[in-house]
Structure 1
Amino acid sequence: MQIINAIGRRKTSIARVYVKPGKGDIKVNNRDLKEYFLSEIHQTLVKQGLVAVKAEGAYDVTVNVEGGGIKGQAEAVRLGIARALVEFNAENKPALRKEGLMTRDSRMVERKKPGRRKARRRFQFSKR
């Protein structure tokens, strides 16, 4: 039995995903998916790749995720699962790409600049 591992990143979250043929168990940081991602929206995000290739009950997924917030972690896991599914079967790639799951979202938090209160916030301007 082969285990495929892939990595997914989003903002400052990094997800290491291990996928193997099984009966549909998804474990995140040694906890059940519903226990780790309490929001229904985040659970749907994680499962999106499996739903796109109609393989919800075909694979067991184990994930180690760290950094960032819950939303960033969910999206990192989603990318990792999509990449692993393509490694399993290259025919999955067009379906996943069509859903936009193969693209790494490169948006990051802009850094704070010196002399300013926030990244873009200037001090109040007074003409007189």
Structure 2
Amino acid sequence: MSKVVHTSGKRKTAIARGTVKEGTGRVRVNRKPVELYSPELARLKIQEPLELAGDVAESVDINIRVVGGGVMAQAEAARMVIAKGLVEFTSDVKLKDKYVQYDRTMLVGDPRRSEPKKYGGPGARAKNQKSYR
């Protein structure tokens, strides 16, 4: 039986779940090959952990499903799934160190969230101005 690893990644309100299994290097995001993913900036973001992994990425298939959030948040959540999945699949400490050194958010979530809006203004901190004239 072949080895299968399930991982998840989050960024803001985007949640990505993925499976890493032995294969031929196919990566799919929402059933679409990563090469066809658009916009280009998001695609490059998703491909970063694959390029850092090198040969390891060509021996596995990765399927990712992403829901919620915006385009870039989804891309960063998917990228986290790929990085965490490859590290868990290979159990390679050097690969983990390489990811952490390059960009820690590949393996560790970013806790920042948008601040809730308060009364008295249009946003979280902005208040309605008054002029007294």
Q: TM-score, normalised by structure 1?
A: 0.89
Deviation at 1:10, TM superposition (A): 0.3
Structure 2 match to 1:32: 33
Deviation at 1:23, TM superposition (A): 1.2
CA contact (8 A) 1:19 1:59 kept: yes
Structure 2 match to 1:84: 85
Deviation at 1:119, TM superposition (A): 1.0
Structure 1 residue runs without a partner (length 5+): none
Listed as ranges, the matches of 1:2-81 within 5 Å are: 2-35=3-36, 37-54=37-54, 55-81=56-82
Identify the match of residue 105 of structure 1 among 71, 93, 110.
Answer: 110
Question: Whole-Å Cα distance in 2 between the matches of residues 41 and 20 of structure 1?
Answer: 26
CA contact (8 A) 2:120 2:128 kept: no
* Aligned residue pairs, count: 127
Identify the match of residue 95 of structure 1 among 79, 95, 98.
Answer: 98
Deviation at 1:56, TM superposition (A): 3.6
Structure 2 residue runs without a partner (length 5+): none
CA contact (8 A) 2:57 2:86 kept: no
Question: Whole-Å Cα distance in 2 between the matches of residues 70 and 40 of structure 1?
Answer: 11
**Deviations 1:52-75, CA, capped at 9 Å, x for gaps:** 121342221101110011111000
Percent identity for Structure 1 against Structure 2: 34
Q: TM-score, normalised by structure 2?
A: 0.86
RMSD of the TM alignment (CA)? Answer: 1.5
